[in-house]
Amino acid sequence: MRELFDDAAGKAPPDPREAARQSARTPLRKRFYKEAAVAEADGGFAVTLDGKPIRTPSGRQVVIPSRRLADAVASEWAAQGETIDPMTMPLTRIANSVVEGVVDRVDQVSDDLAKYFESDLLFYRAGHPEGLVAREAAHWDPVLFWAAETLGARFILSEGIMHVEQPDAAVQAARAALPQDAWSVAALHIVTTLTGSALLALALAKGARDAELVWAAAHVDEDWNIEQWGVDEEAAARRARRLRDFEAAVAVLNALNAPSVEGP
């Protein structure tokens, strides 16, 4: 079982894109259990396979703080057929990432996430055409206004891709709003790497924007290009894989009783 999820091991913060690449190179293993269930454990809940709790690649027992989330992870294991495909188990991969790489270093992962506040997607705006400029503003400005009014984080915008240094006070104000528990931090890290925006991730976690709006905001430029030039099938397939990981992170936030963040 441990070999299946080596993609989640190591000391780096959880990156679903790298996990997907690693999983794609891992040969599928035959299903070796009959039943997946949930049992109470010290500090939360354990997912069990024929009565034995699942463990991370390094041997740590996976303890999940929410029964709802543990049930969802168990459902991934129960849904496997003759072989086990980690690519269809995004919640399990998140769980491994949390236990292996986040629970002992929440501050470090939060710091890595907070770096996006210095060069967030929402800061860099198109200068033309007018339609794209207006669409970016419609999707991104409400999040920036929320950050300024609610968090006291006032950021500077730039046209094009030229880097603009953000006020340290704004970065620190946004950083201070991040959650403190490992599971929420891991979920936000995943949303941030998938969208390119820690502000979108934070607005999602705080209930300021729902998941559908966050996903749309993260793909304003991409969707604009699709409308102009059509759909690229390979790009569409990559986006579908990212959406699966995004929805898993949203499920984690929902299970942890975060504000409403219904998935797209």
Rounded Cα distance between 98 and 89, Å, is 15
Confidence of residue 263 (pLDDT cuts 50, 70, 90): low
Residue 53 preceded by cis peptide, ω within 30? no
Q: What is the DSSP code string of 147-174?
A: IIIII------EESS---PPPHHHHHHH
Confidence of residue 12 (pLDDT cuts 50, 70, 90): very low
83 beta partners: 30
Q: Which residues does 34 contact at the CB level (< 8 Å), separation at least 6?
A: 50
Question: How wide is the angle at C-alpha 220 spanned by C-alphas 218 and 224, nearest 5°?
Answer: 150
Number of Cβ within a 10 Å radius of residue 117? 24
What are the pLDDT digits (tens) for 44-96?
Answer: 999 999 999 999 988 999 999 999 999 999 999 999 999 999 999 999 999 99
What are the pLDDT digits (tens) for 181-221?
Answer: 999 999 999 999 999 999 999 999 999 999 999 999 999 99
Q: What pLDDT, on a 0 to 100 scale, did the predictor assign at position 111?
A: 94
Rounded Cα distance between 103 and 106, Å, is 6
Question: How wide is the angle at C-alpha 210 spanned by C-alphas 206 and 215, nearest 5°?
Answer: 115
Rounded to 5 degrees, what are φ and ψ at 125? -110, 150
- The reported pTM is 0.87
Confidence of residue 264 (pLDDT cuts 50, 70, 90): low
Query: What domains, with CATH codes, occur in the chain?
Result: 2-101 (3.30.2180.10), 106-255 (1.10.3580.10)
63-79: b (≥16 Cβ within 10 Å) or e: bbbbebbbbbbbebbee
What are the pLDDT digits (tens) for 146-173?
Answer: 999 999 999 999 998 888 999 999 999 9
